[in-house]
Amino acid sequence: MRALLLAAGLGTRLRPLTNTIPKCLVPIHGRPLLDYWFDLLFNAGFERVLVNTHYFADAVAAHVHAGPYAERVDLTYEPELLGTGGTVLANADYFCGESFLLAHADNLTDFDVRRLLAEHSAKPPGCVLTMLAFRTDDPRSCGILELDERSVVQCFHEKVEDPPGDLANAAVYVVDPPVVDFIRSIGCPVVDLSTEVMPHLLGRIFAVEHVGYHRDIGTMEALSKAQREFPAP
């Protein structure tokens, strides 16, 4: 299986740190965030990983090319950001018509990749996407999920003031080809997965809860918490 790591963001909430470094290379215990992702995926048996770049693209490329996974990581540069769904569409051929893992690489996580893939293989009939979910300590800053008895997503509550729970979208997905077909049907090169695709997939998204560590390190406060909470390698 192949994977797409979304790593092109500007990291504006982490400024001034991200004035000189892309968000995906922000260090946790002295190690770039992107390297934690590479370890997770390649240790789980992934064949190749594609990383999209935009902000400080040369720095990301230099880091990848100097690393131990250089021969198994591919880069795709976006002169203009395409949105999460647009990046999937622009690189659809990379996945050879097969299912793939899609993740926002600005999260620090230790989820069980093999378990997620196994759960996806056993997902309820009709589901075309499996979503990693986690319990958040700040529900108002996340997309909160409502599930049915099969753990199929019935409703999203995106960063609302009074969310109905704490089970959140972890922004890690296993995506089946029909999702790519739907993105293509929108007919636009710039597509946002969360606002333009996910609402049309309600009732067809299987959620798998992760009970380990998961945090968006997108603010200085969150980054500081991650440095304290996440075990050093």
Does the pLDDT value for residue 137 go beyond 90?
no
Model confidence pLDDT, tens digit, residues 178-222: 999 999 999 999 999 999 999 999 999 999 999 999 999 989 999
Q: Report pLDDT for 108.
A: 95
Give dist(CA 161, CA 187) in Å, integer.
Answer: 33
| Mean of all residue pLDDT scores within the chain | 93
Half-sphere exposure of 38 (CA within 13 A, CB side): 21
Domains (range + CATH), the chain: 2-125+171-189+214-229 (3.90.550.10)
Residue 16 has what DSSP assignment?
A: T
Task: Name the 3-class secondary structure at 50.
Answer: strand
- Degrees to nearest 5, angle at CA 114 with 109 and 116: 70
Model confidence pLDDT, tens digit, residues 58-90: 999 999 999 999 999 999 999 999 999 999 999
Residue ranges of the alpha helices (H) in 22-99? 33-43, 57-66, 83-90
With bands split at pLDDT 50, 70 and 90, how would you rate the model's confidence at 160? low
With bands split at pLDDT 50, 70 and 90, how would you rate the model's confidence at 165? confident
With bands split at pLDDT 50, 70 and 90, how would you rate the model's confidence at 233? confident
With bands split at pLDDT 50, 70 and 90, how would you rate the model's confidence at 144? confident
214: exposed, middle or buried (C-beta count within 10 Å: 0-12, 13-18, 19+)?
buried
With bands split at pLDDT 50, 70 and 90, how would you rate the model's confidence at 107? very high
User: Residue 123: what are its φ and ψ, rounded to 5°?
Assistant: -65, 155
Give dist(CA 92, CA 106) in Å, integer.
Answer: 22
Give dist(CA 32, CA 23) in Å, integer.
Answer: 9
